[in-house]
Amino acid sequence: MRSQRPVTSKAGFAAAVLSGAVAVLYLSLISSGSVTTAGNEVAVGAFAAAFIAIPVCLVAGSLRPGSRAGMALLAAGALGATVLGVLGLASIGLPLLLAAVAAWGAVVGSLRGRDGSCG
């Protein structure tokens, strides 16, 4: 009896890496003072939390893309990357939109049973 390796989504991990890099960039801009927070601390905090949550959702969803929870996490990460990518299109949105394309690809592949898996 062969032991099966866990199924993971390559597209989901690619989206997680790209959105994680954008999150690190955005958080470093906040900490360096490049992003002005005058009177908008709550909004900046919400954006920072969303930038952290997107790669976390994508990584968690990529670990089990065939399960309902995994698909929901992939979809949540894809939706978050899409929304923040559109909102931030003038600055750091383009890499997030690229991550969103990969994440939606992982969602569609997971729904079809071809999750771009390794294993």
Q: Is residue 1 part of a domain?
A: no
Q: Is the pLDDT reported for residue 71 higher than 60?
A: yes
Q: Which domain, by its residues, includes 99? A: 10-32+41-112
The least confident of 12-16, 32-36, 58-62, 86-90 is 32-36
pLDDT at 4: 52
Categorize the per-residue pLDDT at 99 as very low, low, confident or very high, splitting at 50, 70 and 90: very high
Given this model, what pLDDT does residue 3 score?
A: 47
Residue 27 lies in a domain: yes
Q: Is residue 117 part of a domain?
A: no
pLDDT surpasses 80 at 37: no
- What are the C-alpha distances in Å from 43 to residues 30, 39, 53? 12, 9, 15
119 in a domain, yes or no?
Answer: no
pLDDT of residue 115: 45
CA distance 100 to 78: 5
Would you say the pTM of this structure is higher than 0.85? no
Among candidate residues 63, 80, 79, the one with its CA nearest the CA of residue 115: 63
Q: Is 89 part of a structural domain of the chain?
A: yes
Which tokens hold the place of 8?
């993971």
Is residue 46 predicted with pLDDT exceeding 70?
Answer: yes
Q: Of 1, 16, 5, 31, whose CA–CA distance to 70 is shortest?
A: 16
The Cα 42–Cα 96 span in angstroms is 22
Number of domains in the chain: 1
Within a domain: 2 = no
pLDDT per residue over 105-119, tens digit each?
999 988 887 544 444
Q: How far apart are CA 16 and CA 54, in angstroms?
A: 7
Please check whether residue 74 lies inside any domain of the structure: yes
